[in-house]
Amino acid sequence: MKEILQNIKEKAITSINETTNLNDLNDIRVAYLGKKGELTAILKGMKDLSQEERPVVGQIVNEVREIIEEALESKKVKLSKELRESQLQNETIDVTLPAKKVEIGHRHPMNIVLEDIKRIFIGMGYEIVEGPEVEKDYYNFEALNIPANHPAKDEQDTFYINGEYLLRTQTSPVQIREMEKKTPPIRVLAPGRVFRSDEVDATHSPVFHQIEGLVIDKNITMADLKGALAVFAKELYGEKTRVKFRPHHFPFTEPSAEVDVSCVMCEGKGCRMCKGTGWIEILGCGMVHPKVLEMCGIDPNEYSGFAFGMGLERITLLRYEIEDMRLLFENDVRFLKQF
Ligand SMILES: [Zn+2]
């Protein structure tokens, strides 16, 4: 029995010494000390020994076990250290190599223009507000004085989620939500994404952006509307800019107007950009329809107000003299770098 144990010990120590990696070392542990290991087998066989032999053999088994365990442990420490050192060696960073260049982008032209527009209106005391893009049919049409059979609803054909919800065709529903929520005076600017089932071409996209403004207070007149928009146009396009109001029709305002500014390119002389007219249309506006005020719980005999809305894409195209709206959405870096 002593000899057998001696053999086991020597065999184990030899294989431990020859091992070069931690996985093999673990296999050796299992082979000798594991549940089905050689040394464990001898311990299990001790019940067949005589009373005198048992303690003697037991002692030797324990000694052999300790020796093997110590050998395993010290080899493990040695191998781990070697592994760490070789990893450190391989992963050394060469600080003299040239660094990867970090490309820092900049704002999209539409964002630049949007920031400018916000800044102008914040300067006039407007609050920036937002509303949901998935909107109730009621807020998008009905509350804006556009009943189910109104032709304006066809012009703004959109994407319906179901009978009740749709992708908003305009940012005007934000005005309704603000009027329901707040008591006048109200002075808000609502920029946001809107959707219509339009084919993509140089001037149309199924997704585009609107910016709407709304002012409700006592004694608000068309003069306030003209004043606010004239200031806005001069701030955006320059001090020399002139503004022209042309009568128009919108269901939610009365009276309504479209606003032209003198052409930024030719200052009104007529050029290719203004198609020879000297004027460029930039937005629609009007005095909030009394029916709309009523539907929002605001007394039209006490309060009045104005609203206006513009397309962010259109303003951006004009500002940078870009001819095709698709360029704004393609996000070609060569195009975006120009702004
Ligand atoms: Zn012009």
Q: What's 182's domain CATH number?
A: 3.30.930.10
Q: Residue 177: which of 125, 228, 214, 126 has the closest Cα?
A: 214
Q: Is there a single domain that holds both residue 79 and residue 114?
A: no
The residue among 59, 90, 121 that closes a domain is 90
Do 55 and 161 have their domain in common? no
Residue 248 resides in a domain: yes
Residue 100 lies in a domain: no
Provide the mean pLDDT of the chain. 89
125 and 272 housed in the same domain: yes
What's the CA-to-centroid distance between 262 and ligand 1, angstroms? 8
Q: Strand runs (DSSP E) across the chain, as ranges?
A: 127-128, 134-136, 165-167, 186-195, 207-217, 243-250, 253-262, 279-288, 304-311
Q: How far is the CA of 237 from the centre of ligand 1 (A)?
A: 13
Q: How far apart are CA 101 and CA 103, in angstroms?
A: 6
How does residue 55 score in pLDDT terms, banded at 50, 70 and 90?
A: confident
Whether 102 is in a domain gets the answer no
Angle at 38 between CA 34 and CA 44, to 5 degrees: 85
Asked whether residue 232 is domain-assigned, the answer is yes
Helix extents (H) in 124-248: 137-140, 151-155, 172-181, 222-237
Question: 143 and 62 in one domain?
Answer: no
Q: Is residue 263 part of a domain?
A: yes
Q: Is residue 96 part of a domain?
A: no
How confident is the model over 105-150, as pLDDT tens digits?
888 999 999 999 999 999 999 999 999 999 998 888 888 877 777 7
230 and 326, same domain (yes or no): yes
pLDDT digits (tens, 9 = 90+) for 166-212: 999 999 899 989 989 999 999 999 999 999 888 888 878 889 999 99
pLDDT confidence of residue 152: 67
The region that residue 195 occupies, defined by phi over 0 for left and psi between -120 and 50 for alpha, beta otherwise, is beta
Peptide bond into 132 cis (omega under 30): no
- Domain hosting 6: range is 2-90
Residues 42, 45, 47: CA angle, nearest 5 degrees: 135
Confidence category of residue 4, pLDDT binned at 50, 70, 90: confident
pLDDT at res. 126: 96
- Predicted confidence at residue 187, as pLDDT, reads 96
pLDDT tens profile 269-295: 888 888 899 999 999 999 999 999 998
C-alpha 280 to ligand 1 mean position (Å): 8
Looking at the structure, tell me whether residues 61 and 146 fall in a common domain. Answer: no
Number of domains in the chain: 2
Same structural domain for residues 36 and 120? no
Distance from residue 272's CA to the centre of ligand 1 (Å): 6
- Predicted confidence (pLDDT) per residue in 149-171, tens digit: 777 666 667 788 888 899 999 99
| Residue 99, in any domain of the structure | no
- Is 91 annotated as a binding-site member? no
- Mean pLDDT for the stretch of residues 69-92: 89
Residue 160 is given by DSSP the state B
In terms of domains, do 208 and 322 share one?
A: yes
